[in-house]
Structure 1
């Protein structure tokens, strides 16, 4: 595809970096909108999101370098070159979650509401990140001569050149956009706190499990058949989210927390009807 978008003097603008930045911007927009609707302090939410994002990028990059075959030393020199591609989602999740939980406690933000408004934002941001993978040739699929196979010819692409491949990057991009649309629609209709984040974890894990056997890039030594470490993480995340979701739904769940803005709107509606 187009790993390099253009050159600006000595500066090389990578398409992956542009799409990653676009995903961050759109994810921040979605988060700000939902934070306002939930009555949360937008400045604190966006500050938390920034630090959590940085932790997630660091974890995702480190996991990629650990799983990538070859000596680790030379690869660590490329740690900050995320614009060239090479991020492992579950590595980012492992570092972003504890940082986000600590900041939520420090800022005094309601955890379940914060997680629920983060779910659509993460799905939207990830979708554009995966689109960046497509342009850079990262996370490529297995050889396939089907009707919508893609062939990479750019010498800067990570994917094998001249070989028809499954467009796995587009598969996961489409899945993430559908997840985003569904969660965005569900937000005002949610029944209990944590519902959106649990559905995000479940749907994302299932999508990864479906697409994982079609990928041709290296994601660690297979544990069993096609099941790689990232595939196992997806399965565990989906199973855990499903179990917690069913348990909360069976018990009636905890009603969504009403932030100050939401509570004020409710009081206004009550006074007008009185």
Structure 2
């Protein structure tokens, strides 16, 4: 049976070729966006908040991912500078994408008045979802695969379906499907984050750092299997140390991918993953010890920009309350004047009304109490309405000073 290979081009529109890689990355971004919107609703964040974030964040992530890759392969791009912008030919790094997205996110959250740590906690599962789906783009392109492996390992040990096994046959040699390892690791990570974010002990920022720890653990071990790792020339003790940490993978039948010595002896992503794990653990401990991590994930999310916006609303409410209070005083006064005028008009109906009122007053044992009490009660109510309006104004003014 001839191996069935996937065509990286999904379809063509005239001279325009639409690649599966782009479709998959777009789908990854969409799923991540929907997850963030779904969770953001619990905290009162509108879908537009995340749509704008993606609008700014995706280009920032792509540019940073490309720059990261170019920097670590400058020996080539230094001689071919015209290819630096040819991102459609491949060559991006996920750690670079994360750096770009974080910088953009920090500036965006700051402009909206939200805590950086609170919002990135909400977005953490979305990042893993994007990576879980995005890695299938590497699968279609037959890139970022691992070291050579026997076909029997893929079929009999891992029990992979034919379409994956066939696609891992690159130029007659089968390779580890590292894309699949990372995709499944990300899927498991999403479940872990979903469980953690419901726990009361999780402080602000810790879910996001848990994401980094989880992803970096998987990346550390998966990266060493790959044959296209970005690397640099480091001290021999560091290379030996990293290899020693990776040794447990050999117990499961995995072998490290070949790393060309001319590119270096230390895989940059592997070292970075280790530093991120250590850094995040230290940061969690320090933030708790120093009292910086006071908010919990489940606490309400507020914006420092909202009081400023509320000030204008409060001012308008105060003006409306004053107008309502003034109208409340004027209207009863006019009604009272009209009532008093009608009482002094000599008419038979008025006389009958007066007799009836007198009769009622006698039956109640208070000849004049009802009319006086009624007028007083009416005026008291009007004054209360006016006081209420003033109270609203005072409340609004209090909010305004609070926002300052």
Same fold by TM-score, threshold 0.5 exceeded?
A: yes
Question: Counterpart of 1:88?
Answer: 93
Rounded to whole Å, the distance in 2 between the matches of 1:245 and 1:63 is 27
Per-residue deviation, 1:113? 1.4
Of the candidates 193, 205, 216, which is equivalent to residue 204 of structure 2? 193
Asked whether the 8 Å contact 2:223–2:229 carries over to 1, the reply is no
Q: Which runs of 5+ in 1 are unaligned?
A: 154-158, 261-274
Question: Counterpart of 1:164?
Answer: 174
Question: Counterpart of 2:131?
Answer: 126
Rounded to whole Å, the distance in 1 between the matches of 2:59 and 2:49 is 16
**Higher helix fraction: Structure 1 or Structure 2?**
2
Rounded to whole Å, the distance in 1 between the matches of 2:233 and 2:176 is 20
Q: What is the alpha-carbon root mean square deviation over aligned residues?
A: 2.5
The alignment's TM-score, normalised by the length of structure 1, stands at 0.83
Q: Which structure ranks higher in relative contact order (CA pairs < 8 Å, sequence separation ≥ 6)?
A: 1
SS of aligned partner of 2:196: helix
Asked whether the 8 Å contact 1:55–1:95 carries over to 2, the reply is yes
The question of 1:177 aligning with 2:187 is answered yes
How many residues are matched? 253
Per-residue CA deviation, residues 68-94 of structure 1 (Å, 9 max, x unaligned), is 462341321413x2xx54320111222
Rounded to whole Å, the distance in 1 between the matches of 2:279 and 2:40 is 26
The question of 1:208 aligning with 2:219 is answered yes
Of the candidates 75, 78, 86, which is equivalent to residue 86 of structure 2? 78
Structure of higher CA gyration radius: 2
Asked whether the 8 Å contact 1:40–1:109 carries over to 2, the reply is no
Per-residue deviation, 1:23? 0.1
SS of aligned partner of 2:11: strand
Per-residue deviation, 1:53? 2.0
Going from structure 1 to structure 2, the CA distance change for 1:138 and 1:87 (only over 3 Å counts) comes to same
Asked whether the 8 Å contact 1:142–1:215 carries over to 2, the reply is yes
SS of aligned partner of 1:40: coil
Per-residue deviation, 1:102? 1.2
The question of 1:240 aligning with 2:279 is answered yes
Question: Counterpart of 1:271?
Answer: none
